[in-house]
Amino acid sequence: MSDRPPTLHDVARHAGVSTATVSRVLNGGPVRPGTARLVRDVVKRLGYVPNQVARGLVTGRSMVVGVLVPDLVGPLNAAIARGVEDVLEAHGMHAVIVTDHRDVVREAKRIETLVARRVDGLVLIGSELDDPTLTDVTATTPVVHVGAERAPSDERFPEVRIDNQAGIEKALARLAELGHRRIAHLAGPRRDGRERHDAIRQLAPRYELALAHVVDTDFSEEAGRDAGATLLRHRDFTAVLCANDRSAAGFYQAARDEGLNLPDDLTVVGFDDLPWSAYLDPPLTTLRQPGRDMGRLAAERLLHPEASDAWRGVRTLVPNLVARESMAPPPT
């Protein structure tokens, strides 16, 4: 039952050839068709599977790239990881996903073990490490960021990220078009939260929109509800931009508690477009993050640093405004 798995050597012995020959039929070296068939038979019969550890040791490549994700809840990270897998698979490589649960120390540790395992590359989602630490810990392993927490300045670390400003502008433009004049914002934490907040502050005037109130959240439903309750003590705004869909869901609840009728009394806009956002009541208008595309881009960049359509530094993607029923003209 628990006998040692068959090795290259076993196969060679059973087939009456040398290990070199077996290695060749496995990797496509020059070998006579007859012997090849014979060897393949033995391989199948023994259920031989090449030991990737040993192979990796000699080739220096592991054919796997590590994907570090803050956490697995949240379909956005899942989508990004999926995008990475798409292109890896097309190259015969594999993605292993590792979580760090948003903890800088743990993140560094995780990266270290990934590097120690000699992954061929690293996709870091929402990394919180600064460039020096990262340089230190990644050694010679190539890295690509997706939505890094601290803007990388080091040329070694290219980044794919969402263009929060462009997204916010789309939303603001539409709100203005509908006739809104005063808005509120459920702000979020971290870089995305700040960028969205800054964008609103900066761009609102351009659309003759006044930013009446801002309340902080931590991106969670609960925080959204609490912030909503706070916000709704005032009623001098007709639309609220939420930093993400989860907080928007929480805000919905606060609005219901206040007896508000969405969207007639108030317009709500989210950010992300999660799978269930269309099933809220009313269906949520939101800015869709193209997670899968972001993952694809990152992986391409990792695998082909010198591609024709190469880019350096940061590569930015613009979210789409998905208009649903939570958005309406302001009450008259």
- The contact set with its own copies (CB under 8 A) reads 1-5, 47, 49-54, 56-57, 62, 64, 71-73, 75, 77-79, 81-82, 85, 94-99, 101, 110, 112-113, 115-118, 136, 139-140, 221, 225, 246, 249-250, 252-253, 256, 275-276, 278-281, 283
- Nearest CA to 76 out of 317, 280, 310, 303 is that of 317
| Rounded Cα–Cα distance for residues 271 and 162 (Å) | 11
Distance CA 193, CA 187 (A): 6
Closest CA to 165 of 212, 202, 219: 202
Among 3, 30, 105, 140, binds DNA (CB under 7 A): 30
CA distance linking residue 19 with residue 119, whole number of Å: 26
| Residue 58 touches DNA, criterion: CB under 7 A | yes
From the list its own copies, DNA, none, which binds 3 (C-beta under 5 to 8 Å, kind-based)?
its own copies
Using CB under 7 A as the binding rule, whether residue 179 contacts DNA is answered as no
Strands (E), the chain: 64-69, 94-99, 121-125, 143-146, 159-162, 182-187, 210-216, 239-242, 267-272, 285-288, 314-317, 320-322
Interaction between residue 7 and DNA (CB under 7 A): yes
Among 156, 154, 211, which Cα is nearest to 186's?
211
From candidates 2, 3, 34, 233, binder to DNA by CB under 7 A: 34
How many residues touch DNA under the rule CB under 7 A: the total is 30
Smallest gap, in angstroms, from Cβ of residue 11 to DNA?
7
- Under DSSP, the state recorded for 282 is S
Can you give 218-241 as a three-state secondary structure string? Answer: CCCHHHHHHHHHHHCCCCCCCEEE
Using the minimum distance from each CB to DNA, give the nearer residue, 23 or 316: 23
Which one among 37, 41, 45, 51 touches DNA, defined by CB under 7 A? 51
Question: Which residues, 6 or more positions from 233, have their beta carbon under 8 angstroms from its beta carbon?
Answer: none
Instruction: Name which of its own copies, DNA, none residue 29 binds, using a CB cut-off of 5 to 8 Å depending on partner kind.
Output: DNA
Q: CB under 5 to 8 A by kind: which of DNA, its own copies, none does 213 bind?
A: none
CB of 101: closest distance to its own copies in angstroms? 8
Binding partner of 249, given DNA, its own copies, none, CB within 5-8 angstroms per partner class: its own copies
> Is 187 within 8 Å of 216 (Cβ atoms)?
yes
Residues 6 or more apart whose CB falls under 8 angstroms from that of 162 comprise 147, 192, 289, 294, 316, 317, 318, 319
CB of 4 to its own copies, least distance (A): 8
Nearer to its own copies, 146 or 212 (CB): 146
Q: Specify the residue for token string 């899968």.
A: 292
Pairing of strands 320-322, 182-187: unpaired
Task: Identify which of residues 17 and 240 has a Cβ nearer to DNA in the complex.
Answer: 17
Query: At closest approach, how far in Å is the CB of 91 from its own copies?
Result: 14
| Smallest distance from DNA to CB 15, Å | 8
- Residue whose C-alpha is closest to residue 299's, from 99, 156, 87, 147: 87
Nearer to its own copies by C-beta: 4 or 233? Answer: 4
Closer to DNA by CB, 20 or 73: give it: 20
Q: Which does 7 bind (CB under 5 to 8 A by kind): its own copies, DNA, none?
A: DNA
Residues that bind DNA (CB under 7 A): 4, 7-9, 16-21, 23-24, 26-27, 29-32, 34-36, 48, 50-51, 54-55, 57-60
